């Protein structure tokens, strides 16, 4: 809603594109809230990133899903998108593809681990292979002097009331996730 996930996605795309032979595309899911409600919430205009349809997921060699958190789970807009993937689920068109997760939460206790943990169920039902970053980000995973989102599940940021923007360290973690994930996806595709 306020661009936090979009900023992480842009860094993830840069990281993925840094892997030779990898093309990374950005998409966004359809908005489910009426413009009137978004206006009352102070949400900025949506970006010009293309809106994805469920069937377009099948074209990808790997998928990184990013979403804001609502009460420790993915936002309703993203859940509605996943709910529309029944045809892909029925035919298991996504099975065997790598997938990862990144996210934004409002606070430190607001779902930095519960959001990806609860989102994994969507991946499992599709037969996607979950690719976490683990602790591959190195020292950045152990930062204790500054506020930093993210976890072994994936890159993350804290939005607060919407005014806090992703920190440089959070953006570096997002770049790392994109690069790491693209390397794994490339290896998996090469063995297919």
Instruction: Give the model's confidence band at 191: pLDDT under 50 very low, under 70 low, under 90 confident, else very high.
Output: low
Q: Which has the higher per-residue pLDDT, 173 or 38?
A: 173
- Which regions of the chain does DSSP assign to beta strands (E)? 63-70, 73-74, 98-105, 129-130, 156-158
Domains of the chain: 64-191 (3.40.50.360)
8 has pLDDT over 90: yes
What sign results for the dihedral spanned by CA atoms 17, 134, 120, 112?
negative
Q: How confident is the model at residue 192 (pLDDT cuts 50, 70, 90)?
A: low
Phi, psi of 148 (to 5 degrees): -145, 130
Question: Contact at 8 Å (CB) between 11 and 178?
Answer: yes
Residue 35 clears pLDDT 90, i.e. is over it: no
Helices (H) and strands (E) in the chain, counts: 6, 5
Q: Decide if pLDDT at 136 tops 80.
A: yes
Question: What's the whole-number average pLDDT of the chain?
Answer: 94
The three-state secondary structure class of 97 is coil
């Amino acid at each position: 809603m306020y661009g936090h996930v979009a900023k992480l996605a842009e860094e993830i795309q840069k990281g993925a594109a840094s892997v030779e032979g990898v093309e990374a595309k950005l998409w966004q899911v359809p908005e489910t809230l009426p413009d009137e409600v978004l206006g009352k919430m102070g949400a900025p205009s949506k970006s010009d990133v293309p809106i994805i349809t469920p069937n377009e997921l099948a074209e990808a060699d790997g998928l990184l899903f990013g979403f804001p958190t609502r009460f420790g789970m993915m936002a309703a807009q993203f859940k509605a998108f996943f709910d529309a993937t029944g045809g892909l689920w029925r035919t298991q068109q996504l099975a065997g593809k790598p997938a990862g997760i990144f996210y934004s939460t409002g606070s430190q206790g607001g779902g930095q681990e519960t959001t990806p943990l609860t989102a994994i169920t969507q991946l499992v039902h599709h037969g996607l292979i979950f690719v976490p970053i683990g602790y591959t980000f190195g020292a950045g995973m152990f930062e204790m002097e500054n506020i930093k989102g993210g976890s072994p599940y994936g890159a993350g940021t804290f939005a607060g009331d919407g005014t806090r923007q992703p920190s440089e360290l959070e953006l570096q973690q997002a770049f790392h996730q994109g690069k790491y994930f693209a390397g794994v996806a490339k290896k998996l595709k090469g063995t297919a």
